[in-house]
Amino acid sequence: MRVPSATIVVPTRDRPGYLDVSLASIAPQARTAGAEIVVVLDGPDAASAAVAERHGAQVVTLPAPSGPNAARNAGIDTAEGELLIFVDDDVRAPAGWLPALLAAADASPEVDVFTGPIRAVLEGGGPHACGRDAAPITAFDAGPADVDVPLAWSANIAIRRGAFETAGRFDETIPVGGDEEEWEERHRTAGGRIRYVAAAGLDHRRTPSDATLRALSRAAFFRGRAGRRTDARKGVAPSLARELRTLAGCCWHVPRRRCLNGVVMAAHSAGRIAQTVRPR
């Protein structure tokens, strides 16, 4: 039986609409490259299973929601490829994304982890922003040249199977937020490298209903909690006084710049403060 050139692992939970767009962009590239797609459902989800099967993906279902790292580990167990490419269910991969990752992996056998640009796309435009701040969802750009970077994000990361034998599997006790970063810390400690591939970019989407001020602020609050948990785990969490100063600055940014993105930033800061006061 022919071994696939790579396995693309897509963890998902109750977002069939996002998954449909993601797989529609990935599946043609996978077929051309001889790669397989494994969709891991984080708990039973008939609608997402039907979407995955329609795009020719193998479906793995966790018996109950267990978090993204549990889904990624299930993908590792199912995958047949030696290069495992992890993406989130809310991405859209333009033509050339997969070939660029595969070419980089072939050209740099001494590197075990690869990533690429992540472009934030707020469909419908999102709330008014002044343009001075980063997008209110995960984005990443290390420039036009291929370089080593200290971190990669789960929306766009490729890992050789051998790296898991060296650094271990993803830690399933870590909830959403900083989940992939902890594994990357272990990988770097073991002497591993992460290579940024400028041509391997993809889009990180939010539909118009998820790009409203309310929806983005709610998501930012929970990301703030997760960010504070990650900082606490690493021993670099700032004091409550510093967190409060950051919140004040975010609030002042709104009227000063007439920027609604400041509301989202304030929600993120409020999440960090909530986690500081009532850790969970």
The last residue of one of the domains, among 157, 175, 208, is 208
User: Which residue range forms the structural domain that includes residue 239?
Assistant: 212-277
The last residue of one of the domains, among 208, 230, 246, is 208
Instruction: Quote the CA–CA distance of 237 and 177 in Å, as a whole number.
Output: 15
Strand, coil or helix: what is 180? helix
- Is 198 contained in some domain? yes
CA atoms within 13 A on the CB side of 174: 24
* Same domain (yes/no): 57, 108: yes
- Is 1 contained in some domain? no
By the 10 Å C-beta count (0-12 exposed, 13-18 middle, 19+ buried), 209 is classed as exposed
Give the per-residue pLDDT at 1.
Answer: 57
Cβ(177)–Cβ(223) under 8 Å? yes
Tokens 């703030």 -> residue: 224
The last residue of one of the domains, among 208, 229, 249, is 208
Cβ(102)–Cβ(5) under 8 Å? yes
User: What's the whole-model pTM score?
Assistant: 0.93
Instruction: Quote the CA–CA distance of 113 and 247 in Å, as a whole number.
Output: 35
Q: What is the pLDDT along the chain (280 residues), one digit of tens a residue?
A: 577 999 999 999 999 999 999 999 999 999 999 999 999 999 999 999 999 999 999 999 999 999 999 999 999 999 999 999 999 999 999 999 999 999 999 999 999 999 999 999 999 888 888 888 878 899 999 999 999 999 999 999 999 999 999 999 999 998 777 789 999 999 999 999 999 999 999 999 999 999 999 999 999 999 999 999 999 988 999 999 999 999 999 999 998 888 998 999 999 999 999 999 999 8
- From the list 119, 128, 14, the residue with the least C-alpha distance to 62 is 14
Strand, coil or helix: what is 36? strand
Tokens 């490419």 -> residue: 85
Instruction: Quote the CA–CA distance of 169 and 115 in Å, as a whole number.
Output: 18
Helix-then-strand count for the chain, H and E: 9, 11
CATH of the domain at 204: 3.90.550.10
* Same domain (yes/no): 89, 172: yes
* Same domain (yes/no): 238, 198: no
